[in-house]
Each structure stands twice: as C-alpha cells, then as structure tokens.
Amino acid sequence: MPKQKTPRVPKWMYWTPRVLSIIFLCFLALFSLDVFEPGLSAGQIALGLLMHNIPVIILGVLLAIAWKYEIVGGIAYNLAGLVYVFFAFTNVPWYMAIAWSIQIAGPAFFIGILFMMNWYKKK
C-alpha cells in the first residue's frame, strides 16, 4: 500500500501564528518594565521582573510545544485569552475591561484561531 503524504500547509499559514506569538510575547513582556523604580534593589527588580513575566514564560514554553503540535497553541492561546477576560472583568469596571480585553485577549484569540486552522488543515 502506498504511503500517504501529509497535507502541505501553505508557508504563510505555518509561520503567521508563530511570528505573531513571538511579537505578542514581546508585547506582554513590555508591561514588566514598570518594575524599574528608583530606590529598589537589584533583587527586588529581578523578583518583580520574574513575577510580571510568568505569563510570558508560560506562553513561551507552550509556543515551543505548539511549534510542533499546533493544537497545543490553539488551546493555550484561546485559554489564555479567556483567563485574561475573566480576570479583567472581575478586577476593573466593565468599560475598562472591554477595552483591555480587546487589546490583550483579542490578539491571543486571533493567534489561537490561527493555530487551530493550521492544525485542522494538517489533519
């Protein structure tokens, strides 16, 4: 019996979620720069950077896994978007939560959908 070929995914469809993920992680990492304040020790700044970048580290590890298994990226980024929306709506007024969710969770949902499309196309 002849061996079946795996369906080819267009290069743009393969690379778009990965590149957008890297850009998104850099964007999230920018928010950690507010820990630099006068009077803080190097240890306090290092701890602040670590605490602020926990989501970036988690999503970075999941991106490394999603590089091979797109379904992981699809689930992880959509779940990250949902978690952010939940926390935004429970901690700030609704009008601020909507604006923040569009800016932060919106790209996460978009990247998650792109990973899901990539996974579905391969399947």
User: Which runs of consecutive H residues, i.e. helices, occur in 1-123?
Assistant: 11-30, 42-52, 54-66, 70-91, 94-122
pTM of the complete model:
0.85
Return the sign of the alpha-carbon dihedral for residues 43, 49, 51, 54: negative
Q: Can you give the pLDDT at residue 17?
A: 95
State the total domains in the chain.
Answer: 1
Residue-number span of the structural domain to which 81 is assigned: 11-122
How would you write the pLDDT of the chain (123 residues) with one tens digit per residue? 566 665 677 888 899 999 999 999 999 999 999 999 999 999 999 999 999 999 999 999 999 999 999 999 999 999 999 999 999 999 999 999 999 999 999 999 999 999 999 999 887
> Tell me, what amino acid is at 46?
A
| 36, part of any domain | yes
| 82, part of any domain | yes
| 2, part of any domain | no
Q: Can you give the pLDDT at residue 7?
A: 61
| 6, part of any domain | no
